[in-house]
Amino acid sequence: MRIILIGFMGSGKTTIAKALAHDLGFKFIDIDAEVEKSEQKTIANIFEVNGEEYFRKIETNELKKLIDKKFIVVASGGGTPCSESNIEFIKNNFTSVFLNVDSEQLLTRLKKKGNKRPLIIESKNIDNTVLALLQKRMIFYNQADIIIDIIDSNTKTVVNEIMSKL
């Protein structure tokens, strides 16, 4: 079994995927971390030096490599499922879980100090950027097998809800 968490930046994919992997006894994999490892650069650096299009290619490569693995819980990047080919690949090879956090909560989380996400720090108007991206991406996120509407963002609560729906 392969599980992948999808959803917008700041929706808690990494935290929840780690905890879910722990509870299931599966391996945790973070696509952003895999990209950074293979490129030997931070995500911010890849965006700056090579551009977003290049980043998307590496991100897709790392997603596709996971076909060789079983018993994994994957934290995707916010944009990972947002192309026809990647969402199809996810639907064919993973049990997908969309962490649906409302835009207000996302904005609060993303505006916190220390945010290093290039799409956010390079934006002149974070509200507009987030709302526009979210609108474009919901069509992909909504194709997940399981949709979790995050109201109480307590990790244990969310993990238990996912486990009950697997």
**Minimum distance, C-beta of residue 95 to ligand S3P, in the bound complex (Å):** 19
Reported as half-sphere exposure (CB side, CA atoms, 13 A), residue 75 has a value of 21
Q: Inter-axis angle of helices 52-65 and 31-39, to 10 degrees?
A: 110
Which of 154, 146, 147, 160 shows the shortest CA–CA distance to 23? 160
Segment 20 to 39, residues that bind ligand S3P, using CB under 6 A:
32
Distance CA 155, CA 36 (A): 25
Q: Which is nearer to ligand S3P, 107 or 119 (CB)?
A: 119
The site for ligand S3P, by CB under 6 A, has a size of 10
Q: Which is nearer to ligand S3P, 105 or 118 (CB)?
A: 118
Q: What pairing do the DSSP bridges indicate for beta strands 27-30 and 146-149?
A: unpaired
**Minimum distance, C-beta of residue 150 to ligand S3P, in the bound complex (Å):** 14
Segment 77 to 136, residues that bind ligand S3P, using CB under 6 A:
77-79, 117-119
Q: Are 134 and 8 in contact (CB under 8 A)?
A: yes
**Minimum distance, C-beta of residue 127 to ligand S3P, in the bound complex (Å):** 16
Q: Which is nearer to ligand S3P, 12 or 24 (CB)?
A: 12
Q: Which is nearer to ligand S3P, 26 or 55 (CB)?
A: 55
Distance CA 166, CA 164 (A): 6
Query: Phi-psi region for residue 97, left (φ > 0), alpha (ψ -120 to 50) or beta?
Result: beta
**Minimum distance, C-beta of residue 67 to ligand S3P, in the bound complex (Å):** 20
Interface with ligand S3P (CB under 6 A):
9, 13, 32, 43, 77-79, 117-119
